[in-house]
Amino acid sequence: MLRALLLILSVVAIAHAELCKPDAQNAFKVRISIKTALGDNAYAWDANEEYLFKAMVAFAMRRYSSKSTTQISNVLLCNVTDRVSFWFVVTDSSKNVTTVPGSEVEAAIRMNRNRINNAFLLSDKTLQFLKITSTLSPPVEPSTPVWLIVFGVVLCLILAGIVFLIVSGIQKHKKKNKESTERENLEEKVEVTLENGIPCEALDLKAGHINGVFAADDDRFTSL
Amino acid sequence: MPQDLSATPETPKEDDRPKWDNKFQYILSCIGFAVGLGNVWRFPYLCQIHGGGAFLIPYFIALVFEGIPLLHLELALGQCLRKGSIGAWNTISPYLGGVGSWMVSILVSLFYNTVLTWVMWYLINSFQEPLPWSVCPLNENRTGFNEECYESTAVNYFWYRKTLNITPDIAESGTFQWWLILCLAACWAIVYLCTIRGIESTGKAIYVTAIFPYLVLTIFLIQGLTLPGATEGLIYLFTPNLNTLKNPRVWLDAATQIFFSLSLAFGGLIAFASYNPAKNDCEKDAVTVAIVNSMTSLYASIPVFSVLGFKATTAYWDCLDRNIINIINEFDLPEESIMRQNYTSWISFLNSSYPEKIAGLKLKSCDLQEFLDQSVSGTGLAFIVFTQAIILMPGSQAWAILFFIMLFSLGLSSMFGNIEGVFTPLLELQILPKSAPKELLSGIICLISFLIALCFTLGSGSYWIDIFDRYAASVPLLVIAFFEVIGVVYIYKIKRFSEDVEWMTGRKLSLFWQITWRFISPLLLLIVFMAFVTLQMQKPPSYTAWNPNYEGFPMKEEKVYPPWVQAICVLLAALPCVCVPLVALFHLAKQKRRSKEPSLVPPEVSSCQEANSNFSHPKE
């Protein structure tokens, strides 16, 4: 009885070894960089983490094919290195010594990638499935490009400045014109008063030269 | 009977020429004109490739014997004759038609403002998170990144594709880039806003545009010095290598850098000085402006090189990290077993034990010197290298905004000088009737320039800007400056000019100016001109094009200019120079026709003091 059990176990072990080895058919290599992702909060990769990983893969397979036949024991891990990297394979529980096709596993992982990443507090880059490419998230594009908004603001300010300066220039021009016409009117009035006799300016020009006309005129006025 | 009452001579004819509000505005305008984009992106590059600290020796020699004398000459000329460039040259001698520098000012204004358009485009794009030049866009079916972006870098892609939308060849004009047209319109609107009334408006704007860059440079200096790798960059920049001084190319570069950096021969400095009161110490002004300009170049190169050192160090670390990851993955070693410090020991150990595996990895050799050696100048420095460095800094939006506002104000204050060089002569020639306001003239100038500059917004626009920069803004200036010095010294006569300067500054002209104006500066200009032209002639005029279909992509493709483009280059360089002999011939012909005996003696020139005699000074 015991011998039979041992025999079965060894067969299973050998079969498992056959199924899960580097570059085996339908096997995937996983590479995990915990220290890069978490720095000081990094946890150690031990058997419990491996158990969690098997559970997540089984969960992914169950969700993808929606038949609850995949067990944790169906997921085989091997060649765990210090890096941390290892190979895994998913066996088919219905047919004993075969593996689930790689395309199914890939699709299942792809569908649940986010859940798997979050279980380990890692990201697409730090929990790498080497043959499975991740879909890139599209960049966030706002409905109106931001630069147009900024440009609009800048342009409005500039135009406001130009309009203000032009209007103030026109007003100053008008004021100067009004002032100069007022001054001209004033000068004309002054000229009118000067037109009555010999203009005083002319007298001044002659540097104090006494004009006989004025001197003669003085006599005409009787002193008070 | 009534006398002519309007001839009341109690006040001499009031000079309605605009004036500076105060001396500080004038000095600041000259400094703003001289300090431009070249101080930030050309001087540090020259320093780097010509032996670091050793470059300062030819630079300062050129400053003392070429820069300061020519600057003093221009400022004295403008202040004495109180006219813009065309009027001033005409006053010295009608045979020296001054249209040359006016033309150069127009050509330079056109392309300089387009460079500011690029700066503005980057500025308004800096308000996004993440910065648009930090990520590559996805391709059409979202499976990977855009191919052109992926093969070069995101920063290159944003510059060549998203900003310029550059064509692979100068002969292919491409289409108008509407976003650049919008930015160009905004830039010309800003220039109009600031130069709307000539120096009355630029005088106010210059307080901001000339002082702000110094603030930002200081902020960048402090930030730059705290970045890792900054010291490597600075040591690399300033380590003197005296051997380079044996190369005549270094001396030529120093002379041309000083000449173009001080913005001589544009006519803008003459225009600025012409608004000064006649009795102003132009000698001290010239020395001040020149020294401030050079000090600014030095001051700007420190943050530039700190940031470049930071960028080189980060690239070096990235290179190392990539190699480390490859090795760790290949050998399944635990994480963080190989660090940057023990990388070399690990590599030698692994190479001895597993040479084939290491060879199979195809590791790139990471050399910090190599990264530091990647020197760039001009638009490449600002829009590719610096933007890449900014992405790596924390808080990159703020740094990007600060950097581009600084570049914008540097360029804008230089634009004021350029526009003034165009505006003042037109104002004096009285193109528009006297009743027309000044705002109309500046508006017309800005509108026409905007319409012509639209051709720089085509796909091939940046190739054309390179042409304008290389041909219109280099050789003609040397020629014009040479004729300026010769004209003042030998036609106007140095004796008369030194009397004028003595009258203006109030002290005798020192021997230094006499010697430099008479012999040293014209000789230096001649040598620089010959050397410059010889060097340009040596290699056929070629350019590097951004061609995604080129085999060596992302390297740029070397192409030769087609013949019609070469003809335009020659035209751009020759047209302003040719004005001098053309106008001389024209006047000679006029003289011959007018007088019976043709004489080559130029008509009597009014000297400085006579030009100012009917202008009364409130404080004399």
Q: What is the ipTM of this complex?
A: 0.75
How far, in Å, CA of B270 to CA of B286, rounded?
12
Q: Do B335 and A31 touch (CB under 8 A)?
A: no
- Write the residue in A84, A158, A169 that is nearest to B197 by C-beta: A169
The values of phi and psi at residue B376, to 5°, are -135, 150
User: Which has the minimum average pLDDT: A179-193, B86-100, B510-524?
Assistant: A179-193
Give the pLDDT confidence score for residue B598 in this predicted structure.
47
Checking if the pLDDT of B596 tops 70, the result is: no
> B120: nearest CA in chain A?
A151
Report the 3 state secondary structure along B16-34: CCCCCCCHHHHHHHHHHHH
How far, in Å, CA of A197 to CA of A219, rounded?
16
- Cα angle, residue B231 at apex, residues B158 and B31 outer, rounded to 5°: 70
Reported as a single tens digit per residue, the pLDDT across B387-406 is 999 998 888 999 999 999 99
- B39 among annotated binding-site residues: yes
**Residue B139 sits at the chain A interface (C-beta within 8 Å):** no
Give the pLDDT confidence score for residue A218 in this predicted structure.
53
| Residue found under tokens 């498992």 | A16
B185 CA to chain A: closest CA distance, Å? Answer: 9
A30 CA to chain B: closest CA distance, Å? Answer: 11
- B261 among annotated binding-site residues: yes
Reported as a single tens digit per residue, the pLDDT across B436-470 is 888 888 999 999 999 999 999 998 999 999 888 88
How far, in Å, CA of A149 to CA of A147, rounded?
5
The sign of the CA dihedral B171, B174, B177, B178 is: positive
How far, in Å, CA of B20 to CA of B207, rounded?
13
How far, in Å, CA of B474 to CA of B259, rounded?
10
List the beta bridge partners of residue B466: none
Q: How far is CA B37 from the centre of its chain?
A: 5
- B329 among annotated binding-site residues: no
A175 CA to chain B: closest CA distance, Å? Answer: 14
For residue A201, what pLDDT band results from cuts at 50, 70 and 90?
Answer: low
Give the pLDDT confidence score for residue B10 in this predicted structure.
41
Kindly give, in sequence order, each residue whose CB lies less than 8 Å from that of residue B205, ignoring residues fewer than 6 positions away. B194, B412, B416
Contacts of A84 in chain B (CB under 8 A): 334-335
Checking if the pLDDT of B618 tops 50, the result is: no
* Nearest alpha carbon to residue B255 among B535, B538, B529: B529
- Cα angle, residue B222 at apex, residues B220 and B223 outer, rounded to 5°: 60
How far, in Å, CA of B12 to CA of B480, rounded?
36
Contacts of A138 in chain B (CB under 8 A): 138, 142
Q: Which two tokens stand for residue B68?
A: 């300061």
Substitution target from B146, B149, B190, B200 for chain A, most A beta carbons within 10 A? B190
User: Which among A130-144, A161-175, B371-385 has the top mean pLDDT?
Assistant: A161-175
User: Which is more confident, B188 or B365?
Assistant: B188
- B410 among annotated binding-site residues: yes
Residue A44 · residue B295 · CB < 8 Å: no
Q: Do B334 and A151 touch (CB under 8 A)?
A: no
Give the pLDDT confidence score for residue B1 in this predicted structure.
47
Contacts of B125 in chain A (CB under 8 A): 146-147
Q: Do B193 and A173 touch (CB under 8 A)?
A: no
Kindly give, in sequence order, each residue whose CB lies less than 8 Å from that of residue B581, ignoring residues fewer than 6 positions away. none
- Write the residue in B127, B185, B329 that is nearest to A146 by C-beta: B127
